[in-house]
Amino acid sequence: MTRMQFVQRVLFLTFGAALFSVGLEIFLVPNNIIDGGIVGISIITSALTGLPLGIFLLVLNLPFFYLGYKQIGKTFAISTLYAVVIMSAGTWLLHSVQPLTDDPLLASVFGGIILGVGVGMVIRFGGSLDGTEIVAILITKKSPFSVGEIVMFFNVFILASAGFVFGWDRAMYSLIAYFIAYKMIDVIIEGFDESKSVWIISEKHDDIGQAIIQRLGRGVTYLHGEGAFTGGEKRVIFCVITRLEEAKMKSIVEELDPGAFLAVGNIHDVKGGRFKKKDIH
């Protein structure tokens, strides 16, 4: 890692964790709305004991730093510890600041947005703000469930517990905030300009490939395949586009070969190669 990359990581980890603390103390916590995971448990425990939220955010996450260090790596563990310390300090500094709204719906929406942006930044630059994600990664290695499914399973119980502590209306507002934060995390990690992979199998592969290059401005790669049923040789067209180009891609394939096989999938990140769009003449 270069010095510039290190500085960039520290800055974004700091900003992301600070944003998260703003979402908690300026929007969610004053309105008795919680987030999922260790953060949600910390908010509930803080409300029941009267102790500062930052203490629980730090203490309850401590056991997971060791797991993260052993299972994921030293850099991840250090980045996570740094981000959680900043988050905990931020909640302590902001605890006496007046909330911007006492409307639970507004607090859920804007708190969820800010939380999601903060978490997304931290994850994108190699850290985490919640230990349940680390536990989910470990469990998924020995179970048929995905990380997302395991995290959701934990959070169903955590969000439901808010109903017993703060009331069922606050539990429902918490669900709204959690859903918004979850979507915002995806936006920050994947970016607004989401990329898509395209796989096309057609007898008119040359025509379709040239049309993609000339009319869409994207490079294509021809892969060699074999049909399992017929045993015949197939040419597979592979290319990467943005989501805004998906409709035009489909129209090109439909125009040249209505019977072609077309599969489109989401890609979280694209680097190297010749993904940069070519000029269309």
Residues 183, 66 contacting (CB under 8 angstroms): no
> Which H helix or E strand runs over 48?
helix 37-49
Q: Which amino acid is at 182?
A: Y
Residues 181, 116 contacting (CB under 8 angstroms): yes
Residues 228, 253 contacting (CB under 8 angstroms): no
Residues 132, 38 contacting (CB under 8 angstroms): yes
User: In the predicted model, what is the mean pLDDT of residues 248-263?
Assistant: 92
pLDDT digits (tens, 9 = 90+) for 199-246: 999 989 999 999 999 988 888 999 988 877 777 788 899 999 877 788
Q: Which amino acid is at 15?
A: F
Indicate the length of the chain as a whole number. Answer: 281
Per-residue pLDDT, 37:
86
Question: Does the pTM exceed 0.85?
Answer: no
Range list of β-strands (E), 38-188: none
pLDDT of residue 257 exceeding 80, the answer is yes
Per-residue pLDDT, 276:
54
Per-residue pLDDT, 171:
92
Per-residue pLDDT, 28:
94
